[in-house]
Amino acid sequence: MFPITRSRRLRSSKNIRSMVKETTLSVNDFIYPLFVCEGKSIRHEVPSMPGIYNLSVDEVIKEAKEAENLGIKSVILFGIPDHKDEEGSGAYGSEGIVQKAIKAIKDYTDLYVITDVCMCEYTSHGHCGHIINGDVDNDSTLNMLAREALSHAEAGADMVAPSDMMDGRVAAIRTMLDDNGFENIPIMSYAVKYASGYYGPFRDAADSTPAFGSRKTYQMDPANRREALKEAFQDIEEGADIIMVKPALAYLDIIRDVKDSCVVPVASYNVSGEYAMIKAAAKNGWIDEEKVVMETLLSMKRAGSDLIITYFAKDAAKKLNK
């Protein structure tokens, strides 16, 4: 009889399992998304995202402090302005909602503040830039994005994260920042962002559903794999310091491809639809929420994510802190 290969020898106790663990999660891996709105004492739960809120600046400070106390090092801000127009002018005003939130968080915490740079939350049509002939015009949008990024840096942001998927936007933002004395502000590019069905709850939270058409003319086709590397390489060449893949759970293969091919850190976005599905399944008693959350985040880390943007950041931090 041939000898049995006994892999179970290294699974026999908690200690040995910990010693040979190949992938570990840390609170340092997480970036916590926050939705900021105008007003005071506002804390409106997003119906499709239980536990996630639209927050006025005073409430954002409380949320940021709670995250910091759990050991989370960074937040990423998304703005929900009172007024929207065709040009998304609220995105780059010095008294815009994100600009105010940056200053407040920096005043009350030591968190590393990242800002989403895009126009969709600020435009009346819900698209990510300037509309010409029924579609987003790439080149005329670049200056809008660069102005927005500059306004965030001027307000005190530590990093900007363009999510629009316009060609050339990293170079435009890098040039704008450098020309205005912000050469040390890093760019985390949503380089590999797919036209996904997983974004629905986010669009509820940010009131950014397109009024017409879709974003398929500028976001990536979910069928494409090689194109992800093309986008990543392009953005690195233009000056991106970190490359992001979005969504994460259905694109673990893409995260691994980018990790294996790029020498910059790789982030992934555990998006709103992924969050909402776990919450819904847990509410119905179909899964153990804590176990599934940790397994899901671990899969993203195992695939190659150095950083994970996740609405589960606080829950995961509490689990890890035990």
Res 203: pLDDT: 76
**Cα 181 to Cα 112: distance, rounded to the nearest angstrom:** 19
- Three-state SS string over 28-58 comes to HHEEEEEEEECCCCCEEECCCCCCCEEECHH
**Cα 231 to Cα 264: distance, rounded to the nearest angstrom:** 14
Domain boundaries, the chain: 26-321
Res 112: pLDDT: 98
Which position among 100, 193, 279, 301 bears the catalytic label?
A: 193
- Structural class in CATH, domain 26-321: alpha beta
Res 99: pLDDT: 96
Which position among 84, 100, 246, 279 bears the catalytic label?
A: 246
257: amino acid identity, one letter: D
Res 93: pLDDT: 84
Res 83: pLDDT: 82
Res 81: pLDDT: 87
Sign of the C-alpha dihedral, residues 296, 301, 303, 306?
positive
pTM exceeds cut of 0.75: yes
Res 208: pLDDT: 66
Res 90: pLDDT: 79
**Mean per-residue pLDDT pooled into runs of 10, the chain (322 residues):** 87 94 96 96 94 96 98 96 80 90 97 93 77 84 93 97 93 97 97 93 73 75 97 97 97 98 97 96 97 98 98 98 91
Task: For residue 193, indicate whether it is catalytic.
Answer: yes
